[in-house]
A and B are shown apart, each in its own frame.
Chain A
Amino acid sequence: MSRIIRFIILDILKNRIVLVYTVLLAAFAWSAFSLEDNSSKGTLTLLNIILLIVPLVSILFTTIYIYNSAEFIELLVSQPIKRNKIWISLFAGLSLSFVIAFLLGVGIPLFVFADPNIAIMMTTIGSIITMVFIAIAFLSSILSRDKAKGIGVSISLWLYFALLFDGLVLFLLFQLAEYPIEKMMVFLAATSPIDLARILILLQLNVSALMGYTGAIFKDYFGSTLGLLVAFLLLLIWVIVPFLFSLKIFKHKDL
């Protein structure tokens, strides 16, 4: 398995896009920290990167890469390798490359400038978010044979999680303003990886007090060690479930 992963990583590195992505992330991150006079503003800029750019690049590149690797996958399938292995290696290779790109681009400046606790939290969550969107890309690209359609689905999913979901939440908030919906909000947030990530980082940035009662509930739920574990578990489920679905389909797919 590790051999295939190695080939995939080498192949991705040759693609240069990942290198450009790393450099861009680093440029953003370093300038965010050096242009702002206090590190918390830089941290917030990075938060936006983690919540918008990282998911977008991860999901788009992965979708395109999988479609472009159709031949490679075909070649591998005709060889004496388990299908599971091929798909998992592909996922591992992409995840590793992107997580490393993220750690190099954003992780280093974070650890240089930001509070270590926040840095740890943000790099961990950024890495998991990367994997979440790679997993979602796997699912959307296996669902359709048509490349254009697959990319369209991926972009739509990104739009949904990055934008539309929050709009829906806001709409619900207004519709149900008279009811005690705080607990429902906690549940709702857990159904979007981006929101889960955002709130986890915000809790770490000590703005939970700003969030009032809802924030307090969040802090109760996700502020404790157990809650933190649950939150990370939820995020990991966002990685595992889409990927396992795609794996199941891949196992029975005709190439």
Chain B
Amino acid sequence: MKAIVFILIQCLIPLLTFAKTWHIGEKHAFKKIKEGIAVAQNGDTILVEKGFYKEGNIIIDKSICFLGRNMPIIDGDRKFEVLSIKANNVTVEGFKIQHSGYATLDDPGGIKVYDSERVNIINNLVYDNFFGIYIQYSKNCLIKNNKIIAFGKQEQEIGNGIHCWKSDSLQIIGNDVRGNRDGIYFEFVTHSVIWRNTSVKNIRYGLHFMFSNNDAYFSNIFENNGAGVAVMYTKNVIMMNNTFKENWGDAAYGILLKDISDSYIYNNRFLNNTSAIFSDGANRIVIEKNIFQGNGWGLKVQASCMDLSMINNNFLGNTFDVSTNGTLVQNTFKANYWDKYEGYDLNKDGIGDVPYRPLSLFSVIVESNPPAMLLYRSFMVSLLDKSEKILPSLTPDNFIDNNPLMKSLKL
């Protein structure tokens, strides 16, 4: 009974506050969005009908619900920031927002959120802007199911898809980001989640992550970005269930780990990247139950890394499973499946009786002398590798998996 009363009161509150809905469109009193916003009060809804609205910079400075019906188009005329949100409790939903201005000084965006809390940006098509969705000094915002498309050709000429700066508790969910500089950009963003996004064909990174502690990203797809994903100068990041795919190029990585510590990389799929994981200055990272398949390098470990644990991963069809430029590395490899393993299992416990050394001689040579890659697949190199396998002498001792699995894990 109490519950019913509560619900009734809840229903009546809007009536009590006299929240209004303002219609905007050809057939309505208000033809322009700006007129609607001018008269709206906090808590009102502005409903924009299908149409083409070119009104310069539109500023939402009230707590309103700003809805588009049938994807009305808001155009920035390539001069203005299209939509600026400068109030808490704002929802923007259902617009096509296009053609923002281009300026490197104040970074105009399709939608830009300034110092606000609880802003929801949902189901918009953010098309051909300098920055797509830009969030700064904000908290508890939700960016969900937007499609952000840009046509950048060069890094300098285009901004990021979803750009987050000095914010906290953001949720970036289910967005599709293409053709920007970085697909999703995090700098000084904490306690946030990036979930189920697709970031494809961005010029630089699919996800660019700096000075952002205590975040998690999972179930995202990062495909064919100029340099893959970078996670830098950060700690306590959880990366789970993501797919890093076809980030192929001279300096492209599945993930670039740089100066990062205490993080967990679990159950991701690294497919056909130049380097699946490139780690430089990474400490206390657990890499568990991932699939490394068809990459140039599975794991590239610089000598500056400490305490990486590789546990229960599948290495399938990579050119080099592991490579390093140093010798004194305290990393552990435990119970991984290596498709290049040629040992045997006499007691049939599924664990190879001979330890596996994932570091091939040629990969060591290439690391110290990159032009040697020119000899890749030559008969000479195969001979070298085979002889090193039989009599290890040049490769570091501590790159060793003492319990290599005989069969790949079902991941």
Contact = CB atoms under 8 A, between A and B. Distances in A.
Direct contact of A and B (CB under 8 A): yes
A169 B374 contact: yes
A216 B380 contact: no
Given A170-B375, A206-B248, A177 B317 contact: no
Given A173-B369, A174-B369, A211 B378 contact: no
A170 B371 CA distance: 9
Interface stretch (A11-19, A133-141, A181-189): A181-189
A202 B381 CA distance: 15
Interface in A178-231: 181-182, 185, 189, 194-195, 198-199, 202, 206-207, 209-216, 218
Nearest to A209: B274
A210 B379 contact: no
A211 B376 contact: yes
Interface string B264-276: 0000000000100
A210 B274 contact: yes
Contacts of B375: 166, 169-170
Contact of B371 (A47, A166, A182, A207): A182
A210 B380 contact: no
Interface string A24-52: 00000000000000101100100110011
Nearest to A167: B380
Contacts of B383: 163
B380 A215 contact: no
B373 A51 contact: no
A198 B378 contact: yes
Contact of B296 (A170, A209, A218): A209
Contacts of B381: 166
B374 A214 contact: yes
Contact of A202 (B249, B376, B380): B376
Interface string B355-390: 000000000010011111111111111010000000
B223 to A, nearest CB: 16
Contact of B250 (A51, A162, A174, A209): A209
Nearest to A201: B377
Interface of B: 248-250, 252, 274, 294, 296-297, 317, 319, 365, 368-381, 383
Interface of A: 38, 40-41, 44, 47-48, 51-52, 162-163, 166-167, 169-170, 173-174, 177, 181-182, 185, 189, 194-195, 198-199, 202, 206-207, 209-216, 218
Given A170-B372, A195-B374, A209-B252, 4 more contacts: A48-B379, A170-B365, A170-B380, A210-B376
Leading 5 A-B pairs by shortest Cβ distance: A166-B380, A211-B373, A212-B370, A214-B371, A210-B296
